[in-house]
Amino acid sequence: MEKTLVILKPCTLQRGLVGEITNRFERKGLRLAGMKMVQLTDEILNEHYAHLSAKPFFQRVKDSMMACPVIVCCFEGVDAVETVRALTGVTNGRKAAPGTIRGDYSMSFQENIVHASDSHEAAETELKRFFNPQEIFDYEQATFGFLYANDEY
């Protein structure tokens, strides 16, 4: 099973959408393998968003991500990275398709509800950045046999 990182951004907490957003992933059939609330720091955001460091909006992104705590989640499933990305929609909430998380809950490029790993490699790196190994749990979900055909996993 593939694991991926989802960060519920400060805008999600401030708008009281944590339950609704995690519910969307769970209803799809993704298994929650880890979850915790953290206050992000400048140091971890410099690492996490290093690819944006030369952009003029870099500090604004960091400030937004430090506005209040975030919820970091590890979701697991077959093709979890691709599935989560499809559920979240495109980065700009105004352009995200209705039915996606961003399409239903966001009007912003920045305040767009969630961060989701964009590749298998990114998911692996990001999960290590935000979770210790003992914070990600492996357990059998009772509904597992009803989520996949026996030859899909």
Residue 133 to residues 31, 70, 97, 136: CA-CA distances in angstroms? Answer: 17, 19, 35, 6
In which domain, by residue range, is 24 found? 2-146
Taking only the tens place, the pLDDT of each residue in 20-62 is 999 999 999 999 999 999 999 999 999 999 999 999 999 999 9
Please state the domain count of the chain.
1
Q: Which residues are annotated as a binding site for ATP?
A: 9, 57, 85, 91, 102, 112
pTM of the full predicted structure? Answer: 0.95
Domain membership of residue 153 (yes or no) is no
Domain membership of residue 142 (yes or no) is yes
Catalytic positions? 115
Average pLDDT value for residue range 118-138: 97
Taking only the tens place, the pLDDT of each residue in 63-93 is 999 999 999 999 999 999 999 999 999 999 9
The per-residue pLDDT for 153 is 83
Average pLDDT value for residue range 123-145: 95
The per-residue pLDDT for 49 is 93
Residue 50 belongs to domain with CATH number: 3.30.70.141
> What percent of the chain has pLDDT above 70?
100
The answer on pLDDT for 126 being more than 90 is: yes
Domain membership of residue 152 (yes or no) is no
Domain membership of residue 20 (yes or no) is yes
pLDDT, mean over the chain: 96
Report the alpha-carbon distance of residue 127 to residue 140 in Å, rounded: 20
The per-residue pLDDT for 150 is 87
Burial of 92 (0-12, 13-18, 19+ CB in 10 A): middle
Domain membership of residue 151 (yes or no) is no
Domain membership of residue 71 (yes or no) is yes
